[in-house]
Structure 1
Amino acid sequence: MLIRIGFEIALTAPAPVPSIVALSTHPDAPGRLIGSGKPRSPAGLGMTESWDIFGNVKHRLTLPAGETRLWSDCAVEQDGLPDAVVPEAVQHPVEDLPMAVTQFLKPSRYCDSDALMDFAWAQFPAGPSGWDRVQRICDFVHGHIQFGYHHGRSDRTASQALAEGRGVCRDYAHLAVALCRAVNIPARYASGYLGDIGVPYAGPGDFCAWFEAYIGGRWYTFDARYNVPRIGRVLMVRGFDAGDAAMMTSFGSNRMTLFRVWCEEMPAMSDAEVMDQLERRPEAEALLNLDTAA
């Protein structure tokens, strides 16, 4: 399966603003990339690439005064299968977990699992498998939080999401992660592209948040917002919570004036035909005038 992914973001700043963006596909993202999954910028802007402790690809740049447009347009070839479902995956005793994984048992800025300990152990007692327990957590979060973009708030913690019962996709992920950690299941936040592939059209594109739980000897993908296995998920960032996985961190005043994201299935074709399609997209033709990749 071929999936076209990309974004266009316009930012307006009154003065130069140092910024860090995490707008690349993650090196661990399943599938084969065709084209560049890195952000592109106007000629002369300049971006410096680096990696954080989670393997996220990040770029440092300084937004100049006025408007700046960042964009990306590429394709990824995937197997077309939905997220894995492995009901027999076990929960590991803490003493058997790899040391690198135990860090994802601790509370973090937005996943305040220590505040949810009593609730989690009462609500989600151990079951036949670790998968069963994580799925019960997803079922609860999916039914408890009312989704709405107008409910979005950048400082909401998992315990607040539980108390308020509303939020956006990051709140679903934060609450599920915190509840997993509270019952000793390592969990980490993740985000990236997720288009309406294999499901009814749900509206304009956006980046999406989900989470990963360590059971059965590996990390598995779970999504408390949609709560069904999905096709075409493309990982961009992961971390303890959204504080580690912010798509953009700016150290000064700026305003987003345009935001578009696409993640859509393409018909089968050769790599050369894919690249030709990328270059022929009307939006891409206009963006190409801005110049090339960092």
Structure 2
Amino acid sequence: MRIRYGFRIALDCAMPTVASFALDVHTSRQADVLTASPLFMRCGPQDVSHTMATDMFGNVRRRAVLPPGRTVVEHHGVIHDSGRPDAVNLSAGQVPVDQLPEEAMTFLLGSRYCETDLLAQEAWSRFGHVPEGWARVQAICDFVHDHIAFNYQNADRTRTAAGALREGRGVCRDFAHLAITLCRSMNIPARYCTGYLGDIGVPRDPAPMDFSAWFEAYLDGRWYSFDARHNIPRIGRVVMARGRDAADVAIVNTFGPHGLAGFEVWTDEMGAERVAA
């Protein structure tokens, strides 16, 4: 299938402000992009110049000095997707720590929003009896899905996994952070993902669209997508960035004050035709 995606973000700055963006489709999905606009960055009629690089996680980073006034950042495109739901492998086993590849080891450690030192005892007491592998990760997702009440009004950029467990509320990033932390506490590598997730194959959500967060767990030598918020396999995930937690993949980081003046995200299936994967 073909998926249309894009965004339009407006930022107000009172003075020249350095900003870093992680808004491109991830390098691992670039080959699937069929058409894409340039990433436009404008302040009034003036184009804002920016640089582009790839970070340690394969995320595309753009950096610019935003001038005083309102800068609009916009991008859109069409990407090919298999049209299949997230892969499910009930027999996928847990890889012993001594056999993990080095790149997976990073995703066993605690990080800014994922305090494995605080939640390890909680994890083992709740899930130590569950068979290792897929069943254990799914049990963690089931718990987080049932424990956290989703509400956009409950968003808090300072809330950590421990905070989400304590408060029992949050948004998609909180579901991901808590599930990631519980997985890592049980020696299952887990990494944070952000990107597009449209209402494909599910009833349309009337709320304004936003970027989504989910996570990937390393089982049987590969990464599998899990989503503790929705807790069902979904169609059409388009990853933009991966990292240890939300701090690594923030869509915008400014090194100075700014105001968010506009935010639109769109992603949906184009037509009914299906293209062979």
Q: Do both share a fold (TM > 0.5)?
A: yes
Query: Separation in 2 of the partners of 1:59 and 1:188?
Result: 22
Contact 1:31 1:78 in 2 (8 A): no
1:218 matched to 2:218? The reply is no
Cα deviation digits, residues 156-211 of structure 1 (max 9, x gap): 11011100100110000000000000000000100000000110111221100000
Q: Which of 45, 48, 62 is equivalent to 2:48? A: 45
1:105-120 to 2 correspondences below 5 Å? 105-120=108-123
1:291 is matched with which residue? none
Query: Separation in 1 of the partners of 2:130 and 2:93?
Result: 10
1:62 matched to 2:65? The reply is yes
Contact 1:111 1:158 in 2 (8 A): yes
Cα deviation digits, residues 10-32 of structure 1 (max 9, x gap): 11111111000001000113861
| Higher percent of residues as strand | 2
Query: Separation in 2 of the partners of 1:89 and 1:37?
Result: 39
Contact 1:18 1:61 in 2 (8 A): yes
1:26 partner amino acid: H
1:145 matched to 2:153? The reply is no
2:241 partner amino acid: V
Structure 1 residues 78 and 171: alpha-carbon distance in aligned structure 2, compared to 1, 3 A threshold: same
**More displaced stretch, 55-64 vs 24-33:** 24-33
2:245 is matched with which residue? 241
Displacement of 1:267 in angstroms is 1.6
1:207 matched to 2:211? The reply is yes
Cα deviation digits, residues 121-155 of structure 1 (max 9, x gap): 01012534410000000000000001111111111
Contact 1:24 1:38 in 2 (8 A): no
Structure 1 stretches lacking a partner, 5+ long:
270-294
Q: Which of 75, 79, 88 is equivalent to 2:78? A: 75
Displacement of 1:44 in angstroms is 3.0
2:15 is matched with which residue? 15
1:181 matched to 2:184? The reply is yes
Paired residue total: 270
Query: Separation in 1 of the partners of 2:169 and 2:29?
Result: 29
Query: Separation in 2 of the partners of 1:118 and 1:216?
Result: 25
SS at match of 1:35: strand
1:25-40 to 2 correspondences below 5 Å? 25-29=25-29, 32-36=32-36, 39-40=39-40
Displacement of 1:216 in angstroms is 1.1
Query: Separation in 2 of the partners of 1:268 and 1:31?
Result: 22
Displacement of 1:242 in angstroms is 0.4
**More displaced stretch, 126-135 vs 97-106:** 126-135
SS at match of 1:24: coil
1:251-270 to 2 correspondences below 5 Å? 251-267=255-271
1:94 matched to 2:84? The reply is no
SS at match of 1:28: helix
Query: Separation in 2 of the partners of 1:195 and 1:135?
Result: 22
1:135 matched to 2:148? The reply is no
Query: Separation in 2 of the partners of 1:123 and 1:213?
Result: 18
Contact 1:10 1:68 in 2 (8 A): yes
Displacement of 1:257 in angstroms is 1.0
Contact 1:120 1:179 in 2 (8 A): yes
TM-score (norm 1): 0.89
1:53 partner amino acid: M
Query: Separation in 2 of the partners of 1:186 and 1:122?
Result: 19
